[in-house]
Amino acid sequence: MVLHDPVALSRLAFRPTITTLVELWMEKAFDVEDGTLFDIAGVKSRVKTKQALKQIGKWQVARALPALLRLRRQGKVVHQTVGNGAGASGSTRQAIQYHYDVSNDFYRLFLDQRMLYSCAYFDGWHDDIDKAQRDKLDMICRKLRLQPGERMLDIGSGWGALLIHAVSHYGVVGHGVTLSQAQFDLSRERIAEAGLSDRITIELKPFQDLSGSFDKISSIGMFEHVGFAHHDEYFAAVHRLLEPGGLYLHHAITRPAKKTVRQFHRKSAEYKALTQFIFPGGELDYIGHSLQKLEAFRFEVHDVEGWREHYARTLRLWANRLHDKFDAAIGMIGEPRARLWLAYLVGCAISFERGDALIQQTLASRKVKGPSKLPPTRRDLYS
């Protein structure tokens, strides 16, 4: 690691938080040479932050103090955010567009050819990202037991890849909803290019405003934006939209549960930084609470599958691809934001590898009396 700005250590001494560290990285106060961010982030320090700060000589702080005070007076800002951190803005259009409307071309730099921005499924552990994302799409469709002619809703449909796959290979009629203008525009273009405009429709609206009824519903990497205050509203909407006995696939990142709810809702410094810089309004549930809500809103839970290692590998591949095309990323979104995104992908990969972040796919159905209509075994999924 190379230090470019001597004021950096003093800024850390005055405000020893991960937010300061992220800001310094974005400002290029320090950099990595002869390696990548994974080489730094992957090593868990044995020295606590306070202990490390004590090792900063007082003369270093004093020497940098005039420059530090000058920066504080100037209010140096390299990155604007939306909202006030976790849960501040719920699933609002402003928060969603802040993250997803960065640039379609920027996302193309590191995502697969279908532009899937969610955890891939590695049927072969050394598969490339394109095959792993295709296998993910197929696994979702198989879990939903899609049949020709069924009506499928994808809540948070992104750039349309899941619906295009489901309609092309399983013969369903698809409908998607997103709050991102960039995703809405490009998904409609891609659907038209695939010749599926008569079988897939996309709307730019919040899930609360959806109407109609569907045989199958998917939600892939969208629930993280809903926020705890809107969980009841969300599950009530899914129940209202789903036909009795219909299947719902809930794919979401979670955090490990704590001994008490109060402890769970205490946000770590890393979590606060994530919602400040990357996901304004985002909140991660714990799987037990999600299952409780599903049952409370009259769903029957059938399967829960953890994909933590799959997401760790997905994120590593994304980060490496962005690193390889970093100059292009800088040209599209500027160096501070490009550095932020690289740090975000690396940090998330490490979090999933360590088990600090989790992800599950949960299959549930709108509860009915009698048989669930699912096969008695899961051989159809994994054979």
Residue 333, exposed/middle/buried by CB under 10 A (0-12, 13-18, 19+)? middle
The rounded percent of the chain whose pLDDT value lies above 70 is: 84
Which of 17-26, 138-147, 304-313 has the least mean pLDDT? 17-26
Q: What does the pLDDT read at residue 198?
A: 98
Q: What does the pLDDT read at residue 47?
A: 43
Nearest 10 degrees: Cα torsion 222, 366, 140, 286: 50
Domain limits, CATH 3.40.50.150, in the chain: 93-382
Residue 48, exposed/middle/buried by CB under 10 A (0-12, 13-18, 19+)? exposed
Residue 28 above 60 pLDDT? yes
CATH architecture of 93-382: 3-Layer(aba) Sandwich (3.40)
- The pLDDT tens digits of the residues spanning 11-25 come to 777 777 778 888 888
Average pLDDT over residues 109-124: 98
Average pLDDT over residues 319-325: 97
Residue 52 above 60 pLDDT? no
Q: What does the pLDDT read at residue 86?
A: 45
Residues with catalytic annotation? 348
What is the spatial order of strands in the sheet that 151-155 belongs to? 200-204, 173-178, 151-155, 214-220, 242-254, 358-366, 299-306
Choose between 33 and 128: higher pLDDT. Answer: 128
Residue 67 above 60 pLDDT? no
Residue 88 above 70 pLDDT? no
Q: What does the pLDDT read at residue 10?
A: 73
Q: What does the pLDDT read at residue 197?
A: 98
Q: Is the Cβ–Cβ distance between 331 and 365 less than 8 Å?
A: no
Residue 360 CB contacts under 8 Å (≥ 6 apart), including other chains: 251, 252, 254, 287, 304, 305, 306, 307
Sorting pLDDT into bands at 50, 70 and 90, what band is 296?
A: very high
Share the mean pLDDT of the chain: 87
- The pLDDT tens digits of the residues spanning 194-247 come to 999 999 999 999 999 999 999 999 999 999 999 999 999 999 999 999 999 999
Q: What does the pLDDT read at residue 106?
A: 96
Residue 110 above 90 pLDDT? yes
The rounded percent of the chain whose pLDDT value lies above 90 is: 67
Q: Taking the complete model, does pTM exceed 0.75, yes or no?
A: yes
